[in-house]
């Protein structure tokens, strides 16, 4: 529970850093590693719109760059009437590392929903190559 509050705080702070002049839809994410470190991320947009990176992947890539590869939970925070779930691309990117990841989606009104990543991305792409 204490960890959830920390994750929500990290996601809230990260959301304040979102670079989203085109959508004006700031998103914050906080990813918990299996050794209990938190990596936060925000969405980063670009004038070349397709280059935009979601908050979830910003957090994930930051954690991987720090040597982390196993994750136990993620908080996703938006200012929406209902909490939103991660986009398909982020689900796939996260699945590669932690299919059983807990995902808590939250909004600024304090509503929260809890999912497992494997529930949000059934039959995910996974192959031995």
What SS3 class is residue 33?
Answer: strand
Per-residue x/- marks for ligand THU, 84-113, CB under 6 A?
A: --xx--x-----------------------
Question: Which residues are paired to 42 by β-bridges?
Answer: 28
For the question of residue 6 being annotated catalytic, the response is no
**Degrees to nearest 5, angle at CA 14 with 9 and 18:** 145
Q: How many CB atoms lie within 10 A of CB 100?
A: 11
Q: Phi, psi (5° rounding) for residue 106?
A: -140, 155
* Between 21 and 67, CB nearer to ligand THU: 21
* Between 32 and 55, CB nearer to ligand THU: 55
Interface residues with ligand THU (CB under 6 A) are 20, 23, 25, 27, 43, 45, 52, 54-56, 86-87, 90
Q: List the catalytic residues.
A: 56
């Amino acid at each position: 529970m204490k960890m959830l509050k920390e994750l929500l705080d990290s996601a809230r702070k990260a959301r304040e850093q979102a670079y989203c002049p085109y959508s004006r839809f700031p998103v914050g994410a906080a990813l918990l590693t299996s050794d209990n470190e938190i990596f936060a991320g925000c969405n980063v947009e670009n004038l070349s719109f397709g280059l935009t990176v979601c908050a979830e992947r910003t957090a994930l890539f930051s954690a991987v760059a720090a040597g982390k590869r196993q994750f136990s939970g993620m908080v996703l925070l938006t200012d929406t009437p209902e909490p939103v779930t991660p986009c398909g691309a982020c689900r796939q990117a996260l699945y590669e590392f932690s299919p059983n990841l807990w995902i808590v989606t939250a909004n600024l009104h304090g509503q929260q929903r809890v999912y497992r990543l494997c529930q949000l991305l059934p039959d995910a792409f996974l192959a031995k190559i």
